Structure 1
Amino acid sequence: MVADPTAPKLGLATKLLYGFGSIGYGVKDVAFRSFLLLYYNQVIGVRADLVSFAILVALCVDAISDPIVGQWSDTLRTRWGRRHPFMFLSAIPASLSMLALFFPPEGMSQTEAFWYILIVGCCVRTFITFFEIPSSALAPELTSDYDERTSIASYRYFFAYLGGVGMAFLTLLVFLAPTARYPVGQLNPQGYETFAIVGAAVMLTAILVSSLGTIHRIKYFRMPEEREKLGPWNTLVQMRSTFAHRGFLAIIAFGTLKYTSVGMTSALLIYFGTYLWGLNSAQLAILTIDSLTGAFLALFVAPWASRRIGKRNAALVLAVIAVIFGSLPYVLRLGGVFYENGDPMLVPALFVFSAMFQMCGVSSAVLVHAMVGDVVEESQLATGRRSEGLFYAANTLMQKSTSGLGVFAAGMLVSLVGIAPGIDPATIDPAIPRMLAIAYVPALIVLYIGGAVFLFAYRIDRSSHEASIAELERRAGAASLNADEIAEPAQ
């Protein structure tokens, strides 16, 4: 075991400080999902397909860095534990590369802009990996309790949304406020530069505060036995056997479809807000709060649902409910029975639908994140290896990759329906954003519902998890007893 069952329960302060680090990840996420495509496409003037393809290709680096960092943090042995050295070292390079992403050199060609987005984007994603993967893998070390893992996961997701939504709200309301030169504030280049400066500072602060705030728990960790040194081939074979866990494969299959939808939705929301709903930057800022509202409600909904019907069942049901609320505004508008643009009830109605969508979607994600932690012990029983870093690296890589695939799909849809760079919302043909909605809704439903079906293959529940913990404790006790018996004759 790594989480000592005799350690004192996690206090509220520790949960808050642990979750606080996700603010930095949230800032990075909102940059890539919501602003990067619009900034380079509509402001800088780079073709949407090139921008979205650069974002997608950058994820190939994550395919290498995530498992490496996860495996490395599993095997590291220091007096600061296995995870904290990586967390501290990530802070400065992650924030500096984030800053550079929104300060591209002037006068670049389309091809040069593509390579700039790709290279700097790779740096941002790689450096934040050095915090996010070890920090995620810290969760099973902090506690082995079935319900407490859901609780700390909910704090982690809440702060990730606080970082992303908070920065989106501030950017749309203040940094991208309309000016005489830029009556459509979303097209103001200075606003994106201010976003990058503030976002980089927030990212640096969040990483350092969270890393410092969890150091005191290291003394309660039980360091796993040091693994034998393996060559690259044997390491890959070992990783393959670890990832063969049926429950983990079910999580990955669910997440692959769901997070493709998440990436597509995040990238398209600002397009729908600008071109379908006809909203200004202040109204878009108000609508960003719905995500934070949903994430806050998920702090209570996810643990409650886990206690009532178990993590798997709750995650599945909430995913289905989420897609119903997420698609309804578009279905109603296409059917001609939703509020028209300019109606004072339009923004409140969109807020309510989106808040419910986010509450159910985030709660489902929280439960799945906690389910990964429960896979760790069951896998340890089968393989004899403790591999939190690898599991969370693979899970995070899946989220990044499929979200990037979703952003790429969004870019393709934008190009396909004919939303040209710099197009004025006041002059766009109303049929164009409606075509975008017609393509978006079926994709959202298929991805969410199709992903939820895979969760039926996940079989770990409260009783089986507690049985795994008890068996690991029994094995640890037997190993300690055998070690004492061997040591006595030697004395």
Structure 2
Amino acid sequence: MTSAAVPATRRPGLLTQLAYGFGGTAEGIKNNGFDYFLLFFYSNILGVHAGQVGLALLVALVVDAISDPVVGYWSDNLRTRLGRRHPFMYGALIPVAVAYFLAWNPPGDLTGNELFPWLVGVTIAVRLGFTFYEVPSNALAAELTSDYDARTGLMSFRYFFAWMGGLSIQILLLFFLLTPTEEVPNGFFNLQGWHTYGLVAAVCILIAVAVCAGGTHRHIKHLKAPPQARNLTLTRIFREIFETVSNRSFRALFLATLFGLLATGISATLNQYINTIFWGFSPKQIAGLTVGVYVSAILALVVAPLAGRVLGKKRAAILIGIFAFTIAPLPVILRLFGLLPPNGTEALYTIILVITVFDVALIIATQMLMGAMVADIVEDSELQTGRRSEGIFFAGISFIRKLSQGAGVVTASFVLAVAGLSQGVAAQAPSSESIRQLGIGYAASLLTAWTLMLLCVSFYRISRESHEANLAALAARDGTETTP
């Protein structure tokens, strides 16, 4: 297939890319808050039993299991003058911000376990609101352009702003809002700080959604039309969904996302233990590592599009992934063999800081490439099914992302239990054997999850050449259909 056979495609300008990418800020803020702080806030600060908080999050996840594919399918088939995606994005604008604000500002007259019904309701509201925004807006990546490289650029901006947004709000919370006072010497128990966080985060989410929807609004007339109207029975809907997700490349990315975010959940849960117990870093040093992620996100924004253009998305994701996921546990492995400077030395901290900055950059770049790979499945599936199903594909990835990170937390908890650090021992003086077991469990679980992720990616079958062939075949088919 020669390049001449490939139809010309629209490439969004820089302002559109920035507007679309900035929409990821909302997801980054929500994911950061729910993954790292919601359990702590409701159990440790407000006094809700941790088991009940976990149950509330589980109930919301079950709702997600239903709402994600429903909204995805709905947005694929919606017919309005605002297109298929934007009505959902505009509709979610106010509810999603209000719901997130309420999550961190519960009624003052409720205490302890009395907050359980409120928590269930508000977490469901946040999850539903973000489903109505995230699924259609992520699906736009496959509609704004069909260009192989331009899609990588779009998803790179999306992940860049997600990381930057989540990190910035986290730093605001920890360094500026949770400050100690005379009445509250421990800043973590400064309720006003948590309430202010909820307000600031909600406003940022509102702005991000508005910028994404408004910044892509002028492209509505160029977006793809929904499938032809047909009698949609429940049986037909489920048959079409199953037919869509049976795509081989989608199954590969679905499982790859599961294992990749399993690793993310493990890393996020054990990160504090590794930094404090294994490396013996001070809070100031840990803050330095956190700020270093800003540099990582910028590096990833450069690396992902360049690697995708030179190597192709699949090959780039695998090669960068192998490099990134070998580096990540390497310092821990070297320490286990006594090959790093001792704890408390500047040399050790410098080594870990440099490795963290570059390794996180490569991990983010891998996520960007895999996100762009989802968009390329759309045309491959359209040739097989005759329907464009961007919403279904991104809904599936959205749901497995939420589910797999929870599984990562469970796996990390098992590692802590084996190391004997699950019952508050970490706050005292863990034995050298416990520290060694922590390092072994951390390295082994991450390497296993990442290896499985890259193995799944290897079954993805869409290359630049096959994508261009798909575009040419679709253009020929549409031309045949429209020729008298």
TM > 0.5: yes
Q: How far did 1:97 drift?
A: 1.8
| Whole-angstrom distance in 2 between the partners of 1:369 and 1:336 | 38
Residues 114-129 of structure 1 mapped to structure 2, 5 A cutoff? 116-129=118-131
Distance in 2, matches of 1:283 and 1:20, equals 29
TM-score scaled by structure 1?
Answer: 0.88
Given that residues 380 and 467 in structure 2 are in contact (C-alpha distance below 8 angstroms), is that contact kept between their aligned partners in structure 1?
Answer: yes
Q: Which residue of 2 aligns with 1:249?
A: 251
Q: Which residue of 2 aligns with 1:368?
A: 370
Amino acid at match of 1:305: A
- Does the Cα contact within 8 Å between 2:77 and 2:227 map onto a contact in 1? no
Matches within 5 A, 1:345-360: 345-360=347-362
The letter for the 2-side match of 1:29 is: N
Change (3 A) 1:229 1:339: farther
Q: What secondary structure is seen at the aligned counterpart in 2 of 1:229?
A: coil
Unaligned segments of structure 1, at least 5 residues: 486-491
Distance 1:289 1:447 in 2: 26
What's the offset of the Cα at 1:231?
1.1
Q: CA offsets per residue over residues 276-324 of structure 1, 9 Å max, x none?
A: 4455554433322333322221112111211222111111122222222
Aligned-partner Cα distance in 1 for 2:311–2:353 = 28
One-letter amino acid of the structure 2 residue matched with residue 465 of structure 1: H
- Counterpart of 2:314 (choices 283, 305, 312) is 312
Q: 1:184-195 alignment to 2 at 5 Å?
A: 185-186=187-188, 188-195=190-197
**Pair 7,438 (structure 1): closer, same or farther in 2 beyond 3 Å:** closer
Cα RMSD after superposing both structures: 2.8
Q: Is the 8 A contact 1:319 1:360 kept in 2?
A: yes
CA deviation map 1:401-459 (0-9, x unaligned): 111222344456557744457x884x353555654443322111101111111122111
Tell me how many residue pairs correspond in the alignment. Answer: 476
1:475 aligns with 2:477: yes
Report what 2:19 is aligned to: 17
Query: Do 1:84 and 1:211's aligned partners in 2 also have CA atoms closer than 8 Å?
Result: yes
How far did residue 342 of structure 1 move? 4.2
- Residue of structure 1 equivalent to 2:430: 429
SS in 2 for 1:457: coil
Name the residue aligned to 2:403. Answer: 401
Instruction: Tell me whether 347-356 or 197-206 shows the greater mean CA deviation.
Output: 347-356
Q: Which moved more, 1:35-44 or 1:143-152?
A: 35-44
Instruction: Supply the distance in 1 between the matched residues of 2:13 and 2:26 (Cα, whole angstroms).
Output: 22
CA distance in 2, matches of 1:171, 1:41: 18
Q: What are the Cα deviations for residues 82-129 of structure 1, in whole angstroms up to 9, with x where unaligned?
A: 11111111122212222222234566445x555554432222121111
Could you list the runs of 5+ residues in structure 2 that have no partner in the other structure?
1-5
1:341 CA displacement: 4.8
1:193 maps to a residue whose letter is: H
For residue 343 of structure 1, what is the aligned residue in structure 2?
345
2:49/2:112 contact within 8 Å kept: no
- Secondary structure of 1:379's counterpart equals helix
**Identical residues among aligned pairs (%):** 38
8 Å CA contact 1:173–1:281 kept in 2: the answer is no
Written as runs of structure 1 = structure 2, the 5 A alignment for 1:42-441 is 42-45=44-47, 51-52=53-54, 54-104=56-106, 108-109=111-112, 112=114, 116-177=118-179, 185-186=187-188, 188-279=190-281, 281-411=283-413, 417-420=420-423, 425=427, 427-429=428-430, 435-441=437-443
Query: Which amino acid counterpart does residue 359 of structure 1 have in structure 2?
Result: A
Once the two structures are superposed, what CA deviation does each residue of 1:331-383 show, in whole Å capped at 9, x if it has no partner?
34444444555434454433322222221111111111111111110110011
Contact 2:10–2:147 (8 Å) recurs in 1: no
- Distance change in 2, residues 1:60/1:271 (3 Å): farther
- Matched to 2:214, the amino acid is L
Q: Secondary structure at the match of 2:442?
A: helix
More displaced 10-residue stretch of structure 1: 336-345 or 56-65: 336-345
